[in-house]
Each structure stands twice: as structure tokens, then as C-alpha cells.
Amino acid sequence: MTRLEATQVIVELAGAAPIVASLGHPAYDLFAAGDRPQNFYTWGSMGLASSVGLGLALARPDFRVVVLDGDGSLLMNLGSLATIGLLRPANLVLVVMDNEEYATTGGQPTPTAHGADLEAAARAMAIAATATVRTEAELRTFLKQGSESTPAPVSGPVFIVAKVTESAPTAKPPLDCVFIKQRFMAGIGETEPATEGKPL
């Protein structure tokens, strides 16, 4: 399964759910798989996609939040797993596109190429619903499981390692960060706080 194929499955099953994508190839593939207002593309802050998704999931427990992370990115912010395991938002689905390399920067192997097990890390941080998937069918099955009757308190956060092969991205999302934010917030029915137009 290429990362793009895995991303296409996720977009298809996400419905109207917001998707937060880590910078670089995960964001590029999300754009290629299906640009939509509910996509939040990051252009920096490597490692923080899961944290942004966590904050969004806490703010909006009424819908499911999907995060597309990378193995290299998550390894920059492993503490995030502890925080997710602590807060356990039932509506958060964290998918790590694990290609075992820093693909965006030239393909240097990550520790997952040498046995680092991110699913085991998630379980060790008290995230109960976890899986490592290698095919589109497995990914599809597990994602459907994770989406049942959200936000059911028993379902807890879902953590999926998708073992993917690298596929050269074919497109890039818009570069205007403020545009991305405004379109995203409008897409999930949020408005930024308006200034009161008077002295504070």
C-alpha cells in the first residue's frame, strides 16, 4: 500500500470529518487524495500534527478528528502519545503513515526501519485501540471500527500505524497559511472571534 493509497482510503471514510496533516508528504498526499475545506495542512511545526488534532478533538467532541502523521514526525513528539493516553478523547483517530524513512528530506531511515514500534509505544501510553495495518483492506476495517457511534466514551482514541511505501507526491496544497486556517474553520462551522471594534 502506498501512502497515497492509504490516504485515499482515509479521505473516503472520513466523510465530513476534519483531517489534520503533518507537513511535507502527508500533507501533499492529503491534497492529492482530495482537497476539501476540512483539511488542515501544516507547513511547519514538525511533530505537532497529533497535538493540533488533540486540541481540536477536545474543542469539538461532537465530531471525529483524523490526524495524518508521519513516523519521523511522531518521533519528534512522542510525549503527545502520553497526553493522548491521559486525556483519551473518544473522537480522535491518529494515523501514522509509517514509511520507515524521512521521505520529505531525502529518504533517510527512521528508527522504525530498525525495529522501533510506534503501536507498542501507543499501547504503553495507555491508548487501548491500536493497530498496525499493511493493506487497504486492513486499514478500511480498522477505521470503520474506530468510527462507530463517536463520541462513545468506551471507544477511546484510535491509533493506527499504516505501514506504507513511499510514493512521490504529485501536488502541493495552498501555501497561504491564513487561507488554510480560515477555510478550515469555516469548513467545520467555526468562526474566528470578531474583534469588538472598541478599546479593550
Partner 1 sequence: MTAPLWASGVCTGVHAAGSRDVVYVPDNPLSHVLQVFQHQFRDVRLILATREEEAFGIAAGLYLGGRLPTVMLQSSGLGNSLNALTSLLIPYQIPVLTVVSMRGDVGEWNAAQAPMGRAVRAIFESIGMPHSTVESAETAAEAVRLAGKTAFGTRIGNACLLPRRVTTMTTGSDPRGDRRRGLTP
Task: For Cα atoms 150, 155, 160, give the angle at the middle one, nearest 5 degrees.
Answer: 100
Q: Does 57 bind partner 1 (CB under 8 A)?
A: yes
Q: Does 8 bind partner 1 (CB under 8 A)?
A: no
Smallest distance, partner 1 to C-beta of residue 31, A: 17
Q: Does 116 bind partner 1 (CB under 8 A)?
A: no
Q: Does 87 bind partner 1 (CB under 8 A)?
A: yes
Please, which of residues 160-179 interact with partner 1 by CB under 8 A? 177-178
Q: Which is nearer to partner 1, 114 or 198 (CB)?
A: 198
Q: Which is nearer to partner 1, 154 or 178 (CB)?
A: 178
As a whole number of angstroms, the distance between CA 152 and CA 155 comes to 6
Buried b / exposed e over 71-90, threshold 16 CB at 10 Å, is bbbbbebeebbeebbeebbb
Q: Does 95 bind partner 1 (CB under 8 A)?
A: no
Q: Which is nearer to partner 1, 113 or 177 (CB)?
A: 177
CA Rg, the chain, in Å?
A: 16
Closest of 15, 18, 148 to residue 90, by C-alpha: 148
Q: Which is nearer to partner 1, 76 or 116 (CB)?
A: 76
3-class DSSP state of 167: coil
